[in-house]
Amino acid sequence: MKNPMLEVVSLLLEKLLLISNFMLFSSGATGEDKGRNSFYETSSFHRGDVLEVPRTHLTHYGIYLGDNRVAHMMPDILLALTDDMGRTQKVVSNKRLILGVIVRVASIRVDTVEDFAYGANILVNHLDESLQKKALLNEEVARRAEKLLGFTPYSLLWNNCEHFVTYCRYGTPISPQEVGSAGCPLPSLTFSLSRE
């Protein structure tokens, strides 16, 4: 039988080693300022719009709140390690994001459009066409997003930025890639996102 205390200490040491190798606490990590100089015409965005940013292997989603602000779910390892808002509010580097996915910790946070898009093009309300679902009123969408701000569990498959956005926009947290042939949303998501 293994010693549980030894397993806990071993796990903590592994996490500390991982953190020290990635130098998560350095403020000038390379790549963190990518896209900061991009300009986005936000006058065409409306409060409650779904903003979609295509990436190489995935798409990132957020809800436009107005005044150049976007609410979006972002995995971040620092949320598990510190309560220092100064560190956790900085743009999430790729290292922080990947480690956040691994430890399943995220926040629904508000960033500028520039920080959210990270230099990529933005599609607006593209999900309305692909899902062929009726969207809630934009003000209701934005209110739902604002109500969910803060710390949340994360799952790449069951509770990610797409689930957050579809819950706010359509009332049901789904991911088009995970909808079965009958078009039924995954039932486990309602509990994790509902904070009403």
Q: What is residue 9's predicted lDDT score, i.e. its pLDDT? A: 60
Could you confirm whether 184 is annotated as catalytic?
Answer: no
Q: What is residue 181's predicted lDDT score, i.e. its pLDDT? A: 31
Write out the two tokens for 181.
């042939």
Contact present, 79 and 106 (Cβ < 8 Å): yes
In Å, how far are 51, 69, 81 from 111, measured between CA atoms?
12, 6, 21
Q: What is residue 132's predicted lDDT score, i.e. its pLDDT? A: 84
Name the active-site residue from 53, 92, 135, 161: 161
Q: What is residue 183's predicted lDDT score, i.e. its pLDDT? A: 36
Q: What is residue 107's predicted lDDT score, i.e. its pLDDT? A: 94
Residue type, 14: E
Q: Is 104 helix (H, G, I), strand (E, B) or coil?
A: coil
Q: What is residue 11's predicted lDDT score, i.e. its pLDDT? A: 58
Q: What is residue 85's predicted lDDT score, i.e. its pLDDT? A: 80
Write out the two tokens for 172.
């049901």
Q: Is 10 helix (H, G, I), strand (E, B) or coil?
A: helix
The rounded average pLDDT for each run of 10 residues, N- to C-terminus, in the chain (196 residues) is 66 54 41 49 93 88 97 90 81 84 93 92 91 93 97 92 96 73 37 46
- Output phi, psi for 123, to 5 deg: -100, 145
CATH 3.90.1720.10 given to domain 42-80+93-172: yes
User: Which 3-state string (H, E, C) describes 133-191?
Assistant: CCCCCHHHHHHHHHHCCEEEECECCCECHHHHHHHHHHCCCCCHHHCCCCCCCCCCHHH
Q: What is residue 84's predicted lDDT score, i.e. its pLDDT? A: 84
Overall pTM > 0.75? no
Q: What is residue 42's predicted lDDT score, i.e. its pLDDT? A: 86
Delimit the domains of the chain by residue range.
Answer: 42-80+93-172
